[in-house]
Structure formats: C-alpha cells, structure tokens
Structure 1
Amino acid sequence: MQIDQLYNIYKAFPKVTTDTRNIAADSIFFALKGANFNGNAFAEQALAAGARYVVIDEPLYDKGDDYIIVKDVLSTLQDLAKYHRSQLNIPVIGITGTNGKTTTKELLYAVLSQKYNTFSTQGNLNNHIGVPLSLLSIDSRHEVAIIEMGANHVGEIALLSDIARPTHGIITNVGKAHLEGFGSFEGVKKAKGELYDFLQESGGILFLQSDNTELLEMVNTRTFNKIVRYGFSGQNDVIGKLLHANPYLSISWKMKDTTPIYEVSTSLTGSYNSENILAAIAVGLHFDVSPISINMGVEGYVPKNNRSQITKTTKNTVIADFYNANASSMSAALDNMKVLEADRKVVILGDMFEMGDDTYAEHQKIITQAKSLRVDRLIFVGEAFYAQKEPEGEYYQTTEEAKAAVSTIAESFILLKASRGMAFEKLLELL
C-alpha cells in the first residue's frame, strides 16, 4: 500500500496505537517488533479489542481486509507521520538537549496555551517511535506544536528532525549523558547539533541560550535565518535575572532595549531551571503572547513526574529529581543545594546510567563535589558509587539496602537524585 493510500485510511480513523493494552475504538494498530516481542502476533487481538485496521509486515498473520501489509511497520509509521506533518501548516517547535528538555517543553506549552490551541509531546514519547506517534496526534484544531526529541546515538536527532520538520528549534544545553551511545562529549554535541543542521538547511528559527559557551560555539559554525537569544547578559533579546531560589524560583526578565521589567514566581526549584523559564518567555514573545499572559503560564506550571519536584511528606521536604540523571544534571542539583536554607540538609544520590567508559570518573567527580557541601548526611547508592567507597558518607550497593538508613531521616530538606533505573521512588515512600 502506498503512503498516500494509508494516509486516507488514517484520515478516516485518526487514532494510532502500538500497544494492545490501550486500543482505542476505530484506531489503527501498528504491529511493531522489539527484541522480545513481535507485534504481528498481536494483530488479531488488536482487532478484537476495537481497532479498525492493523498494519503488519509478516504475511503469515494476514487474515482479511482489515490487515494492511507493508514492508516494514516501523518505517511505515515514520513515513505516515512525515506525510501527515507535510499536510500541517502550523509552527512546529523542536526541542532537544541533555537536560531540561521536558521541563522546557512543558513551560512552552504553559505559555503558548495562553493564546493558542497548543499540542505538545506527551510523557516520554520523544524517540523514533514516540515522535511519529506524537505527530499523528496533531489535528486541525492545533495552532502550534511542541515536539520533544531525545537521542542516545548520533543520527537520531537528524532522523527525528526529518520526520517532524521543525520550523523553530531549541537545544537546552549539551552535557555528559548517554556517553555509552554517543562515545564522547563531542559525540553528544554532534548528535544534538543535528537539530541546528536541520534548521540551517530549512531556514528555521533558532532560540538560543547565548550565555552557554558550548551552544554558542555550535551556533557560530552554522548560519541561521533568525536567532532569538535569551540568557542573563545584556546582549540577549530576552534578559533574565535570578531573584530567589530558596526553594522556589523567582526571576525578573525584560526585553532588550526596553524599560519594563517583569517578575515571575514559579513552582520550580533549582536555579538551573531559570534558563528553561527564559526559553519559554522568549518563545512566548516571539509568538506574540503578552508579558502578562506569559507570566500567568509560567506561574501556573507545576512540575511533576519527579523532575525538580518539591514534595512535602509527613516527615521531610524532598526535592524529588530522579526521573533521570547524568553528570551535568547531578552537578547542577548539588550546586542548588548550596543556596537552599534549611536547618538540616540530606543528599541522597544514586548511580548515573549509560556513562560508558567514563562511569567511574564521572561518579568520582560527583562524590568530590558532594563532599564539599555542608550537609548533615550524605548517602550514595548504586554499584558505581559503591565501587569508589570513601570514609566520608554512607554507601549502599542497591536501593533496597539503602532503605533502612533512609527511613530514619526526619525534619530534613532532602535531595533525592538518581537515574530512573535506581527506582528511587522506593526511597521517597520512606521519607
């Protein structure tokens, strides 16, 4: 079947799914394959659950007119999303970066939604499957779309950019993450820079944190149609200043060469989030959202999913920040603990995953930085931290082993930071 024929079916039944556990009535099921599953084998089950059509790539499973056979289901899903994108005449903002891309996406949504019917990536649908599914969720009601793009290998952002074809783009920052896949920090910059490459070739508009030297170097090797600069120094188009970060962020901001100064208070913690707020302000201004509406959007945003999220338990106040972790985000979280005022501070850190050959060196740097803080307890959890056990601090090989020690903490301000695989929600339950 040709992609335009499939697109006509999609227009009639514009709900797409890849999981038989959440089949919507009259949807199209794409039978994807994985290392441990073959979606083709679930096609009949998808139809029984309410799907109108199933897309398969193994003729063995074909059982009638509601089966659509293609050469490869994944590439067909991507091609359909790309075709759908070509029919949309709306701005599409692509976001990638080592840290802060999800928070930035959500802040952008909060701001742009003040004026426009806005679509944004839901959850973590930011990879070679998630981005096509996100695009296929955009309909004629939407006036602007925000597409988050994640990657752990060189070439992935180029693929996602080719599918989503962003008209505008942001790289929040570049840091040491997924080094196992990228190979090195230079590999990270090359991979994230693929969004810049696309915007350069397509004539797109770039939003740049121009106080970030790494991003500035990456931009200076390319030519863009337009750059909107945001940051904390005077050369930016949107200039911010951190007013308060103890524990919630407040910033002031203004437009270059204008006199009004605006202040906004947030439900975010971590001074590192101030640049994510400025990104949302810069995007809002570019799309003619009023300063008052921009501040309303930022102030109304409440973080969730354990990303820089302050949680008050019966015993403690916890910065729950364990959706993910890498060397740069871990360091920023520790820096933030310096400015927080509390009678008792506790830092609980878990292993950072996918660091490759740099695993032990990067964990050692974090141990050194953490030891320089003035905190009441310092707890390290995970194999990589435990392998470099030092006299100062408490070390546990697993999250389970750390439970007993953590359960005794009370009346403290706690940083809980780790990669998702450490399952630190088990510790949060005890705090």
Structure 2
Amino acid sequence: MLDPRSVPFAAQIHPQARPARRLTWDSREAGPDTAFVALPGEKMHGNRFVERALAAGAPFVLTDLDVPRAVRVDDARGALFAWARSERAKNPLVVGITGSAGKTTAKSYAAAALDAHFMPVFNTMPAIACFLVQYGASQKPLVVEMGIDHIGEMAELMDLVRPDVGVVTTIGPAHLEQFGMVETIAHEKGQILTARRALVGSQAAAFFPKAQFPHVDSYGFGDVTFRGEGLELSPQAARFRFGGMGVILPLASRVQAEAAVLGMVLAREAGIALADAAVRMSAVEVPGGRYRLHPGRFTVIDDAYNASPVAVRAALDALHALKPEGEVGRRISVLGRMLELGPTERELHAEVGSYAREQADLTYGVGEFAQELGERAFATVPELLADLLNEVRDGDIVLVKASRGISLTPEQRAVTGVGLDVVVEALLDQRDR
C-alpha cells in the first residue's frame, strides 16, 4: 500500500487522506484504490482534474491545492519524482531498455524471463515515476522501457530510473527531426550503458565497439558475446538453444528470438533457472501491432503499431524468412509513411522501399511516399484496400507496417498512409469469411 503519511518529502496531509494501492497521473484512472498526481502538462494542469479524481474516490491526491484528501506540496512533479527515486532504491534489480526499435518486445521477454514487474506500453516520465512508486519496494525485479525523442531526455531518465542493467536493442534513424543524425541518437541512447551492467543487441553492437566500450557485451545471434544457437524460423514458431536449453517462441520472428536471448542472459545472471525462464517466455504475447502473426488461409503480420527505417527492415527480414504455403503463395509488404525523419525522409523511404522489393514478392506503398515504398502505390488507404483485398490469395503472407500518427484523425490517417491498423482489420475480416 502507498501510505501518504510515509512519503519521503515534506507535505501537508489532509486527515481524510488514506493509503492507495496504485498511483496515476491520469485522472481517468483514479478510483477507490488509485490515487491521483496533479501534474503540469503542455496544455493544462492536472489541478483541473482533482475534483474529478476525488469524485471517483481517489484515496488521496498529490497537489498544491487545499482540497479534501490532499497530500499538499509546492511542486507535485518534484515530489512524485523524489518518491519514485526513494522507492526505486529499495529494489535489488532494475533493468532499463532503450533503442530505436524493439524496446517493447525486449521488455516483454526480459520481464517474462526474470518474472519481473514491467512498465505498460505508455512510458512517459510521469508514468515511469508512478510505476517506480508502486513497485519499487517489491522484491521482484523491475523492467523499464526508456524511450526518448529529444536530446537530454535520457539523462533525465537515468537520474530517475538508475537501472542496474542498461540495454540498447537497436540504433537507427528515428525522431531525426529532434536528433538530427544517427550518431546523436547513439550518443543519447548510449547513456543507458553507464549502468553497472551493459548489454546491446546484435544490430546496435556496431555503434558501441569493444575497443571503445570494453564493459559492454552484445547478445543475439552470430558474432556476439552471448549468442543463441541453431535459430529456426517458421510461421508457427522461432526455435533456438541457449546454454544448452531449448527455447520455443510461438508465432515469433528473429526480433522476438533476439529479445528472448536477452531474457536468457538476464535470467542466468540473476540466478534464475533457464528452464523456468524459457517456459515463461514461450507464453509471451506482445501488445497488438508489434509483429503479431495471424496464420490462416493467408497469413497477416500485424506490425502496424509504429515504424522507423531500422524497424521496417527488421520486419521485412522477418517476412523474407517465412516460407509461403503452397506453390502460389507470395510474400507481400504493405508499407506506409514513417514519421519524424527530418529533411532526409524521402531518401530514407526510398531506401526502405528498395529493400522491400528485395525481400518481398509484391510491394505496396500508401500515402505521401507511396511511390518510394512500393511498386503498387496508392494515395489513400481506401484506394490501397480496393486493390490489396482483390489481390491477396490463399498461401500469401502479408506484412503491414507504418507509423501510427496518434495525433491524426481517422480521416487524416486514411489520406496520409499512417496508422495502418485498419488495413490489418480488413485483411483479417476477408481471411475469416
């Protein structure tokens, strides 16, 4: 329980304030077991929602307002972060994971291997702070996804999370509007490797050579420090061995398999039986849109949650590694726009499109860079679907990937070619008729 009378900072505690099980910065999640932190936002202050949280039964609210059940402080954000650091210090093992792609997948497998508490999908600084307050004192390990989109953010995250193990999954062009170039991305994300234990995925290893980073070890397949052996990929599963233990991951790709190698490394170093870690990882289901494979009379790969050049290439590699069923089955890529790539975005889309033509039998592009992304190019999603649904046939494997554009309306997404979850839904609907 989170007792407001035991907070590690000076506060005026309202006599009606009571302990909570959870803590949230989102007033919509406040309730009888969930306290609310009123934080300043880009457009409005959380104080506007304090009454809503109290009406929902929040056990207490962290705020500078004089209201019932208040834990009253001058700076709610500073108080939350101080509380988070205090609780985090009680945990024996915290793993921080960053990278240009594959963070959520790596987090899912690492947490399963360690039997750890882990961050949900939403991983802003306030969300991470609330997570640390809630689970920091647990004797279970913690796995925290530490994504960044601007210079200086990783330094702030490191000060908050202070991971014992720092992991970089991949390095590639993403958020270039803020970072400018890939070397800056590597430098910023690489700050996580100042943790006492540092690991990088096989693709990221080139950015952190042993000669310059002797304390950093690599994991994955091939020429790495800790490698999985005998990787086998099929539409049904990914299989490999690590430390003499077989690992089977249903409906998984090489990306998931590499994340599972990370899980095995972390489990072994934490003294956890590899057999137990392998069993837990075999049951992992990554969130929707992150390489979720839907087999059937034709197979749909839903990787539409988000996209960057390195992530699209990985998805295309996974598509190419799968063998279509029957004599007529084909590998088909459906790609939409990648966001936040800065002034070189057309060139980057063209490079990805060229790679798609090498890895797939038939390529589609939609939106502003449709011509660069696919041999069949369409301005809007409805136009794309009209052709794609008529084209796809039994035995095909169809990959769908693009950036989400979460700030866009459904109509804007249809025009711009971002947020291709509607394409996945249409394909599955047609497949299951």
Give the TM-score taking structure 2 as reference length.
Answer: 0.84
CA distance in 2, matches of 1:298, 1:26: 31
Hey, what's the Cα distance between the residues in 2 that align with 1:324 and 1:23?
29
Contact kept, 8 Å, 1:14 with 1:136, in 2: the verdict is: no
Residue 106 (1) aligns with residue 98 (2): no
* Residue 23, structure 1, aligned to residue 30, structure 2: yes
The answer to whether structure 1 residue 4 and structure 2 residue 9 are counterparts is: yes
2:125 maps to a residue whose letter is H
Q: Residue 196 of structure 1: CA displacement? A: 1.5
Deviations 1:82-128 (A, max 9, x none): 22223x14211111111111111111121122xxxx2111122x221
* C-alpha distance in structure 2 between counterparts of 1:191 and 1:142, whole Å: 30
CA apart distance, 1:234: 6.8
Matched, 1:156 2:153: yes
Contact 1:334 1:370 in 2 (8 A): yes
Asked if structure 2 preserves the Cα contact closer than 8 Å seen for 1:267 and 1:303, the reply is no
User: CA separation in 2, counterparts of 1:98 and 1:213?
Assistant: 13
- C-alpha displacement at 1:271, in angstroms? 2.2
Instruction: Provide structure 1 residue ranges, at least 5 long, that are not aligned to the other structure.
Output: 256-260
- Give the paired residue count: 402
- Structure 1 residue 284 displacement after superposition: 0.9
Q: Distance in 1 between matches of 2:78 and 2:221?
A: 43
When residues 146 and 338 of structure 1 are mapped into structure 2, their CA distance, relative to the original with a 3 A threshold, is same
In structure 2, the residue matched to 1:32 is 39
The match for 2:228 among 236, 240, 259 is 240
Deviation at 1:228, TM superposition (A): 5.2
Name the SS of the counterpart of 1:103 in structure 2: helix
Q: Show the counterpart of 1:119.
A: 117
Deviations along 1:219-276, whole A, 9 cap, x unmatched?
A: 643564xx5543435772x321343212244343344xxxxx3322212433233321
Distance across 2 between alignment mates of 1:410 and 1:235? 40
- 1:329 matched to which residue of 2? 311
Alignment of 1:67-78 (within 5 A): 67-78=70-81
1:410 and 2:398 aligned: no
RMSD: 2.7
Mapping 1:19-418, distance limit 5 Å: 19-57=26-64, 62-86=65-89, 88-113=90-115, 118-124=116-122, 126-138=123-135, 140-197=137-194, 199=195, 204-209=196-201, 212-217=204-209, 220-222=211-213, 224=215, 229-233=218-222, 236=225, 238-255=226-243, 261-312=244-295, 316-342=298-324, 343-375=329-361, 377-383=362-368, 385-386=369-370, 388=371, 393-408=375-390, 409-411=392-394, 412-418=396-402
CA positional deviation for 1:212: 4.5
* Contact preservation (8 Å) 1:307, 1:320: yes
CA contact (8 A) 2:98 2:146 kept: yes
Percent identity over paired residues: 27
What CA distance in whole angstroms lies between the structure 2 residues aligned with 1:291 and 1:78?
Answer: 35
Q: Give the drift of 1:318.
A: 0.5
| Contact persistence 1:350–1:418 (CA under 8 A) | yes
Paired amino acid for 2:208: L
Letter in 2 for 1:310: L
Q: 2-side partners of 1:427 and 1:340: how far apart?
A: 21
Alignment TM-score, normalising by the size of structure 1: 0.85
Aligned residue in 2 for 1:258 = none
Task: Answer yes or no: is the 8 Å Cα contact 1:349–1:417 preserved in 2.
Answer: yes
Maintained 8 Å contact 2:109/2:263: yes
- One-letter amino acid matched to 2:310: S
- Distance in 1 of aligned mates of 2:112 and 2:259: 12
**8 Å CA contact 1:351, 1:418 repeated in 2:** yes
Q: Aligned partners of 2:228, 2:59: CA distance in 1, in Å?
A: 51
Is the Cα contact below 8 Å between 1:208 and 1:229 reproduced in 2? yes
Unaligned runs of 5+ in 2: 406-417, 428-433
Provide the secondary structure at the position in 2 that maps to 1:194: helix
**What SS does the corresponding residue of 2:208 show, helix, strand or coil?**
helix
Distance 1:214 1:228, change over 3 A: closer
Aligned to 1:424: 420
Q: Is the 8 A contact 2:249 2:257 kept in 1?
A: no
1:137 alignment partner, SS class: helix
User: Equivalents in 2 of 1:350, 1:300: separation in Å?
Assistant: 30
Equivalent residue of 1:13, what SS? coil
Amino acid at match of 2:365: F
Deviations for 1:371-406, whole angstroms, at most 9, x for unmatched residues? 22451x3211122x13x459x722223334423223
Shifted more, 33-42 versus 188-197: the winner is: 33-42
Inter-partner Cα distance in structure 2 for 1:402 and 1:194 = 42
Mapped to 2, the partners of 1:66 and 1:299 lie a distance apart of 44
Distance 1:179 1:312 in 2: 35
Cα displacement string for residues 154-189 of structure 1 (whole angstroms, at most 9, x for unaligned residues): 211211111111111211121111111211101111
Contact 1:151/1:157 (8 A) holds in 2: yes
The verdict on how the C-alpha distance between 1:7 and 1:232 changes in structure 2, with shifts beyond 3 A counting, is farther
1 CA distance for matches of 2:245 and 2:69?
57
Return the offset for 1:71: 3.8
Change (3 A) 1:371 1:155: same
Alpha-carbon distance in 1 for matches of 2:341, 2:168: 21
Distance 1:90 1:8, change over 3 A: farther
Do the aligned residues in 1 keep the contact of 2:171 with 2:204 (CA within 8 Å)?
Answer: no
Return the alpha-carbon distance in structure 1 between the equivalents of residues 224 and 271 of structure 2: 21
Which amino acid counterpart does residue 27 of structure 2 have in structure 1? T
Write the distance in 2 (CA, Å) between the matches of 1:95 and 1:282: 14
Does the 8 Å contact 1:249/1:271 carry over to 2?
Answer: no
